Amino acid sequence: MSAPEVPRRPRDGSRSTRAIRLRPRATLAVLLATSIGLAAFAWPLFVDPGLASANLRDAPLLFTLLLPLVLMVVLSEIADGGIDAKAVAMLGVLTAVGAALRPLGTGVAGFEPVFFLLVLAGRVHGAGFGFVLGATTLFASALTTGGVGPWLPFQMLGAAWVGAGAGLLPPLRGRAELAMLAVYSLLAGLFYGLMLNLSFWPFALPETTAISFVPGDPVGDNLRRFVAFTLATSMGFDVPRALVTAGLVLLTGRPLLRALRRAARKAAFDAPVVFADDVGSSDDEPRAPSGR
């Protein structure tokens, strides 16, 4: 019989808190999903005017079907050898917490407390974990609140970017880290709102208004209209979301970062699995009579 699997700590005594390792294929899948996602958000700005006019209503349905498939491919690629049972358990717990947090805000005045969790978890567990957590949290919260619709894939991808970006920030500690995460939270909250606006703005208004998308106009002109549309319609949600996220990071960041890192070290995500030699084989062999 062989001994059980024995996790070993690295020689320097440290343990990585990265719950998911982004292997080359998984990294390529994330980059591909990001490229397709950007195309899904911003395609009307760059296509031929005639094509944009003809497909302005059909294309959102196409991307609504395409994005979930892309996300499924990315998640399966990340999980294929890059995530173990301990990381799955951590992902399940944080997804459940995030899904429970999101309905507390209900989106009123931009109060959405779920994003600070994505930032802190992505910071501790890495970009791969942050990407997956953002997507699964928005999906789980949509299932629990009845928020499933054509907007959900865009929300999932936007939240995935927020979580992944936190995992790519420079390695700082202490007050500098909290300040960096607060600034990132401000920018991420605004970025999420801008991207969600961009996903429906070309189809939301008739072309007769001063803030409408106009197929075939120069990109700069349409972007100016988009900024005006955002200022007129959603800044009352985007700015509070950014401020709430940054405030929660400053308020809870230090204890939560400590708790997440302690849990990750105990889980030892990076500990290799070692199969020990048959140390007890000699005890299993028949022994000669002792003569007594």
Query: What HEC string does the chain produce?
Result: CCCCCEECCCCCCCCCCCCCCCCHHHHHHHHHHHHHHHHHHHHHHCCCHHHHHHHCCCHHHHHHHHHHHHHHHHHHHHHHHHCCHHHHHHHHHHHHHHHHHHHHHCCHHHCCCHHHHHHHHHHHHCHHHHHHHHHHHHHHHHHHHCCCCCCHHHHHHHHHHHHHHHHCCCCCCCHHHHHHHHHHHHHHHHHHHHHHHHHHHHHHCCCCCCCCCCCCCCHHHHHHHHHHHHHHHCHHHHHHHHHHHHHHHHHHHHHHHHHHHHHHHHHCCCCCEECCCCCCHHHHCCCCCCCC
Q: What is the percent of the chain where pLDDT is above 70?
A: 70
Domain boundaries, the chain: 17-268
Q: What is the pLDDT of residue 88?
A: 81
Q: What is the pLDDT of residue 202?
A: 81
Question: Contact, 38 vs 109, CB < 8 A?
Answer: no
Q: What is the pLDDT of residue 118?
A: 94
Query: What mean pLDDT, rounded, does the chain reach?
Result: 77
Minimum mean pLDDT range among 31-45, 102-116, 117-131, 180-194: 102-116
Q: pLDDT band at residue 245, thresholds of 50, 70 and 90?
A: very high
Given a cut of 70, is residue 168 above it in pLDDT? yes
Strand-pair partners of 274: 6
Q: Give whole-number Cα distances, 60 to 50, 135, 240, 286, in Å.
A: 17, 19, 28, 73
Please report where in the chains the tokens 């420079």 appear, as a residue: 170
Minimum mean pLDDT range among 176-180, 198-202, 277-281: 277-281
Euclidean distance between CA atoms 261 and 259, whole angstroms: 5
Q: What is the pLDDT of residue 91?
A: 86
Given a cut of 90, is residue 4 above it in pLDDT? no
Minimum mean pLDDT range among 21-25, 30-34, 237-241, 263-267: 21-25
Q: pLDDT band at residue 1, thresholds of 50, 70 and 90?
A: very low
Q: Which residue has the higher pLDDT, 10 or 77?
A: 77
Question: Contact, 125 vs 95, CB < 8 A?
Answer: no
Given a cut of 60, is residue 207 above it in pLDDT? yes
Q: Residues 215-226: what's their mean pLDDT?
A: 85
Minimum mean pLDDT range among 50-64, 107-121, 278-292: 278-292
- For residue 213, which amino acid is it? F
Minimum mean pLDDT range among 19-28, 124-133, 146-155, 198-207: 19-28
Q: What is the pLDDT of residue 141?
A: 87
Q: What is the pLDDT of residue 78?
A: 66
Question: Contact, 153 vs 71, CB < 8 A?
Answer: yes
- For residue 220, which amino acid is it? G
Q: pLDDT band at residue 156, thresholds of 50, 70 and 90?
A: confident
Q: What is the pLDDT of residue 272?
A: 54
Given a cut of 50, is residue 278 above it in pLDDT? no
pLDDT one-digit tens code per residue, 117-139? 999 999 998 888 898 899 889 88
Phi, psi of 128 (to 5 degrees): -65, -45
Given a cut of 50, is residue 281 above it in pLDDT? no
Q: pLDDT band at residue 32, thresholds of 50, 70 and 90?
A: confident
pLDDT one-digit tens code per residue, 227-237? 999 888 888 88
Q: Which residue has the higher pLDDT, 280 or 125?
A: 125
